[in-house]
Amino acid sequence: MKKTVLVSGGAGFIGSHVTVELIEAGYDVVIADNFSNCDLTNYNGACAITGRKLPLVEMDFCDPEAVEKLFSDYKIDAVIHFAAFKAVGESVWEPLKYYRNNVESFINLLETAERHGGCNVLFSSSATVYGEPEELPVTEKSPRQPATSPYGNTKQICEDMLRDTVKAKPVIKGIALRYFNPIGAHPSALIGELPRGVPNNLVPFITQTAIGKRECLSIFGNDYPTEDGTCLRDYIDVVDLAKAHVYAVRRMLEGKMKEDYEIFNVGTGRPVSVLELVKTFEKVNGVKLNWKYAPRRAGDVTAIWADPTIANKELGWKAERTVEETLAAAWAWEKRVAEM
């Protein structure tokens, strides 16, 4: 019998890609989203890629009654929890908005899952929990540093809540995936990153500048202690990232976890500088970008990249797509968005 995976925030950038990979791996999926960070574009794209009308529940995980109804209406075998506010800068100015939404929604999910006999819970975490790391690359045993933003702090709090819940309630099993820098789009160009307003992430800013939506791209800081003076990051293709979720869900559902709560870094293990990413985009897509250096941005760490050895070994997953393929897909998606 097919297993059903609930994808909270499943109409968003990463959630929609994960939904597609889950369907292609043979799972049934229920998408739940309140559309505070997205519209129907990626949901419709996921339906087009998979060739089916996917179950969609419009709801807010901060509403405990709505979460209860969701678990009553569907038999849920695993949950992947994306539903959260995600703008680092906004979280600094609106901390309580972030704590209420990101923490309360996860509490409601865990409490309801326990009431309904338990569940496998996969939490969408972030490499932001490592802060400015003391050693590189970071492993799962690298110490978590004090968060540099309320957004980052909600990721740490939710990781701790999942760990503690698993310890106290044997019916809940949990995995936290710590993502590095997800970029790109589906090769079909039917789903991709669709920021509202000014993008918070580098690649949408690159593609929007390339297409003329933004006048100029700012590279924040060229005086970092790196080879070209710009920050180093671990950019992972969103499709590779999505596949890691499928491997993690399978590990939970097939009872292959070595502990009831596990953590995995999801990255490529290869650092790429901001300047290198910009120049690679220009080269791959034959586009000249209007860009300039700007002062450093508060909260940006100098360099961070993953040691993905444990995820490679334990999950049997590995990042496969090249930066060139990823940036070509991102550009194809941006051009499609412009035609919508």
Report how far residue 195's alpha carbon sits from residue 73's, in angstroms, rounded to the nearest whole number: 31
Residue 235 annotated to the active site: no
Dihedral pair phi/psi, residue 118, rounded to 5°: 105, 170
**Beta strand pairing call for 172-179 and 261-266:** parallel
Q: Which of 43, 151, 179, 247 is catalytic?
A: 151
**Beta strand pairing call for 272-273 and 232-233:** antiparallel
Can you point out the beta strands (E) in 216-284?
217-220, 232-233, 235-237, 261-266, 272-273
**Any idea which residue has 């997953």 for tokens?**
317
Report how far residue 124's alpha carbon sits from residue 37's, in angstroms, rounded to the nearest whole number: 16
Dig out the tokens for 290 from the structure: 């209007």
Dihedral pair phi/psi, residue 233, rounded to 5°: -135, 165
Report how far residue 287's alpha carbon sits from residue 150's, in angstroms, rounded to the nearest whole number: 37
Q: Please, is 168 exposed, middle or buried when counting C-beta atoms within 10 Å of its C-beta (0-12, 13-18, 19+)? A: exposed
Dig out the tokens for 103 from the structure: 């923490």
Q: How far is CA 235 from CA 266, 270, 302, in A?
A: 10, 8, 15
Active-site annotation, residues: 151
